[in-house]
Copies of this chain bind each other. A is one copy, B any other.
Amino acid sequence: MEQVKALVFDVFGTVVDWREGIARDAAPFLARHGATGIDPRAFADAWRRRYQPAMEECRSGRRPITRLDVLHRENLELVLRDHGLDTTRIGEAELAEMNHAWHRLDPWPEAVAGLTRLRRKYVLAPLSNGNIALLLNMARRAAIPWDAILGAEVAQAYKPEPAAYLRTAEVLGIRPDELCLVAAHNGDLKAARGCGLKTAFVTRPTEHGPGQTTDIEPSEAWDVVARDFQDLAGKLGC
């Protein structure tokens, strides 16, 4: 890790707790529309399940690259219909506001303090499939200390496409092995390692709720394995 100059971060699940954040905003929204029988966390899970398939349309080339705010909005309408709601009876402003719940996710409790320590030594940026406005609004609201907002919209490629990792190193003006991806997801780290990046695994054992079974343990010998961002800062000498 001695040559690493910049750390880039997966965001949904790694920096922020998307499940609790979406559930928090979905609860009053669903209640207002008479859908009190829907569990807000199950609603968050259902919305999130449509995330990868929507991006896959772009990755496969069947659809041009489309920013995540647009995909999230399409998926919101689909998941509302799946739950029996008539989206034509919900106003445009309210749908837009609900969709912006992804801009209002809270970081995990130690994340901002850990990032603040890490920033003393490293350039920090998100390498997320989230779009620039989403990540910027999230960072302002939660005081996340990024040096720049990078990711799919800058690279014009969705992870785990190699271009997402390689173009991020390129715009930072560094070699892939001078860049380290921090993520709570083994698959993301595997793709980054395949591109020559360094890798740091951070555990987020409740990203999917109390019964989570995936990404509990590192699947490979990543360059660093840490409990959380404070532990990561300690292990990187920050």
A140 touches B123 (CB 8 A): yes
A132 in the interface (beta carbon within 8 A): yes
Residue of B nearest to A135 (CB): B148
- Most chain B C-beta atoms within 10 Å of own C-beta, residue among A136, A148, A154: A148
In Å, the complex CA distance between A153 and B150 comes to: 11
Q: How many copies does the complex hold?
A: 2
Inside 8 A of A135's CB, which chain B residues have their CB?
Answer: 148
Size of the A side of the interface (Cβ < 8 Å), in residues, is: 21
A172 touches B123 (CB 8 A): no
CB distance from A119 to the nearest CB of B (A): 9
- Most chain B C-beta atoms within 10 Å of own C-beta, residue among A136, A137, A153: A136
B140 touches A147 (CB 8 A): yes
Inside 8 A of A136's CB, which chain B residues have their CB?
Answer: 123, 147-148, 172
B69 touches A131 (CB 8 A): no
- Other A-B pairs beyond A132-B172, A148-B148, 5, CB < 8 Å: A123-B140, A132-B150, A132-B154, A153-B154, A154-B154
Inside 8 A of A23's CB, which chain B residues have their CB?
Answer: none
Residue of B nearest to A133 (CB): B173
